[in-house]
Amino acid sequence: MTTVAQTDNIQEALFFKSLLESSGITAHLPDEFTAQNFPPALLSSGVKVQVEDEDAEAARAVLAASQGN
C-alpha cells in the first residue's frame, strides 16, 4: 500500500477516497475508525489515504487534478 494523501480532516480524507473510487481506484483509510471516534488530538499523524502500489501514480494524478494542480 502507498499513502497518496494525508490530512487531519476525516471529511477531506473521505472526499479523496470518493474521488479515487469514482475514477476506478480502490482507496483505503486505515485510520478511519480512529478519526471518526476519537478526538483529533489522538490522531496526530493525520488520516492517510492509501491505494495499491500499482495505482499510486494514477491516484496522485486524480487528486492533483481535483485541486487544480
Predicted TM-score (pTM) of the model is 0.83
Give the span between the Cα atoms of 50 and 47, in whole angstroms: 10
What's the pLDDT tens digit per position in 7-62? 888 889 999 999 999 999 999 998 877 777 766 655 567 889 999 999 999 999 99
- What are the boundaries of each domain within the chain? 2-66
CATH of 2-66, one of 2.60.40, 3.90.550, 3.40.50, 3.30.70: 3.30.70
The pLDDT value recorded for residue 26 is 97
The grid coordinates of residue 37 equal 471516534
Which ranges of the chain does DSSP label H, i.e. alpha helix?
10-22, 32-37, 56-66
Tell me what pLDDT residue 46 has.
80
